[in-house]
Amino acid sequence: MTLIKSISGIRGTIGGSTGDTLNPLDIVKFTTAYAMFIRRNGQSRSNKIVVGRDARISGEMVKNVVCGTLMGVGYDVINIGLATTPTTELAVRMSGADGGIIITASHNPRQWNALKLLNKEGEFLTAADGAVVLDIAEKENFEYADVDHLGHYVEDNTFDARHIESVLQLKLVDVEAVKKAHFKVCVDTINSVGGIILPKLLEQLGVEYTILNREATGDFAHNPEPLEKNLQGIMDEMKTGNYDLGIVVDPDVDRLAFISENGKMFGEEYTLVSVADYVLSALSTQSSPSSLNTVSNLSSTRALRDVTEKHGGTYAAAAVGEVNVTTKMKEVNAVIGGEGNGGVIYPESHYGRDALVGIALFLTSLAKKGCKVSELRTTFPDYQIAKNRIDLTPETDVDAILVKVKEMFAADPTAQVNDIDGVKIDFPDKWVHLRKSNTEPIIRVYSEAATMEEADAIGKKLMQVVYDMQ
């Protein structure tokens, strides 16, 4: 049983003993701490908190506990029901709320759930703010409202439509061009909220669609992380030759992966690359182009850097985690950014990963270029990325492992060592990144090179260091 507290929220498995899992008592504890943080930071404007959730089996239970707790602290709750993470982020801004809680464990398996915590801008709390929440939770010096000051509860199911409308209004989304292309797509919505909102988006874009795993039961048909090894069903469906594009999202619809018309993975890493290429190309043709800067995290492909520089922009890297990426994007005035896991962040919409935005921009790009998805893929620099993991034991000393890895490459003149987030070793023709996950009790080992064999080899070299020290 596991409970993880990080910049990605409070995440854990359901059931088990208090303090070790995401159970009702711990849900109350962290929800209360969050509500008290929002009130104490002096930025409460509306006394409203938005709550949205994905379709996980435990979601109804967690939602009831969260909403009741917020009301007990004295906050009015706007429950937007089954909703994507980006929809909930936008709902905070659109409603003028003081914050929001998204009940989702993103790509984690069905036994997990989480509380993702938002500020009044609908953005994830910073690491510093998250630390304050954890401190409040640890001390448990809670204050609840008396009977005359309990919060109120309302349900508002309008935000899916408002989210879609905001996507269609983006300057670089060309609805008419997409409609004229008469696309046929196959979508895997992994038995969650994507099956509710994506058909509505595609209908307004004039796209013919088939939905796999559409029913929002939360009982996922396969491992919900949108990686090739989990997507054989839709890849086989694409091989029938009946579709122009395959679309895959995770349970809360902030991650996005594409499959080419021939049934081959477009590459999760290349979701952001392809969308960024379209955005940068469009902006570079304007009479007075704005900043053409981009940002991704340290575990993302070099292809984004290459594409950015091709268009005359500047690329910057951030530590892993959406809030780290958005912070860097604001710092460098990036026009687009995100993460190599299929997360597209487009500031014109909002500072959050949003699969709906990614889909609309990608389809626009595809319609304007008039090519097949497989042909589009060949226009980008071709790197191969290997994604491995090491399960942690209670005895694993992650800090000692990271020190050991740094020492291994300290004397190598061809290696650039970056330790702002784990340890990343950059070579002229490849890189490897070793870091503790924010969302699972694992060490992630990502590596990239010209071939999968090279990428896997350097990744396995560092994995052996970890095994030797466990």
Residue 265 lies in a domain: no
Q: How far is CA 170 from the centre of its chain?
A: 20
The yes-or-no verdict on residue 92 having pLDDT over 90 is: yes
Same domain, 290 and 363: yes
Cα separation, 340 vs 297, in Å, equals 7
Cα separation, 379 vs 374, in Å, equals 9
Q: Which of 157, 181, 204 is the last residue in one of the domains?
A: 157
What residues are labeled active site?
106
Q: Is 236 exposed, middle or buried (0-12, 13-18, 19+ CB in 10 A)?
A: exposed
Strands 256-259 vs 315-318: parallel, antiparallel or unpaired: unpaired
Of 118-127, 130-139, 205-214, 399-408, the one with minimum mean pLDDT is: 399-408
Question: Using 50, 70 and 90 to split pLDDT, how confident is the model at 289?
Answer: low
CB-based contacts of 419, cutoff 8 Å, min separation 6:
402, 406
The yes-or-no verdict on residue 287 having pLDDT over 60 is: no
Same domain, 221 and 322: no
Same domain, 251 and 308: no
Is 440 or 86 the better-scoring residue by pLDDT? Answer: 86
pLDDT tens-digit profile of 52-69?
999 999 999 999 999 999
Total count of domains within the chain: 4
Tell me which amino acid residue 148 is.
Answer: D
The pTM (predicted TM-score) of the whole model is: 0.93
Here the tokens at position 28 are 């109350």
- For residues 69 and 28, is the Cβ–Cβ distance under 8 A? yes
3-state DSSP: the chain helix, strand, coil percent, rounded to 5? Answer: 40, 25, 40
DSSP, collapsed to helix, strand or coil, labels residue 211 as strand
Residue 123's domain comprises: 3-157
Cα separation, 121 vs 85, in Å, equals 14
Q: Which of 377, 405, 421 is the last residue in one of the domains?
A: 377
Q: Which of 225, 259, 293 is the last residue in one of the domains?
A: 259
Same domain, 329 and 355: yes
Cα separation, 173 vs 188, in Å, equals 23
Give the C-alpha distances (Å, rounded to integers) separating 89 from 10, 93, 340.
Answer: 17, 7, 21
Dihedral sign for Cα atoms in the order 209, 215, 218, 223? negative
Domain of 199, CATH number, reads: 3.40.120.10
Cβ-based neighbour number of residue 464 at 10 Å: 10
Residue 180 has a pLDDT of 98
Judged by phi (left if over 0) then psi (alpha if -120 to 50, else beta), residue 338 lies in left
Same domain, 280 and 173: no
Same domain, 52 and 143: yes
The yes-or-no verdict on residue 406 having pLDDT over 70 is: yes
Here the tokens at position 426 are 């950059």
Q: At residue 143, what are phi and psi to the nearest 5 degrees?
A: -130, 125
Strands of the sheet containing 76-82, edge to edge, are 3-6, 9-13, 112-118, 99-103, 48-53, 76-82, 153-155
Here the tokens at position 99 are 């914050």
Same domain, 350 and 410: no
Same domain, 134 and 222: no
**For 399-416, what is the mean pLDDT?**
87
Give the C-alpha distances (Å, rounded to integers) separating 136 from 125, 140, 144.
Answer: 15, 6, 14
Residue 288 has a pLDDT of 60
Helices (H) and strands (E) in the chain, counts: 15, 20
Q: How far is CA 286 from the centre of its chain?
A: 30
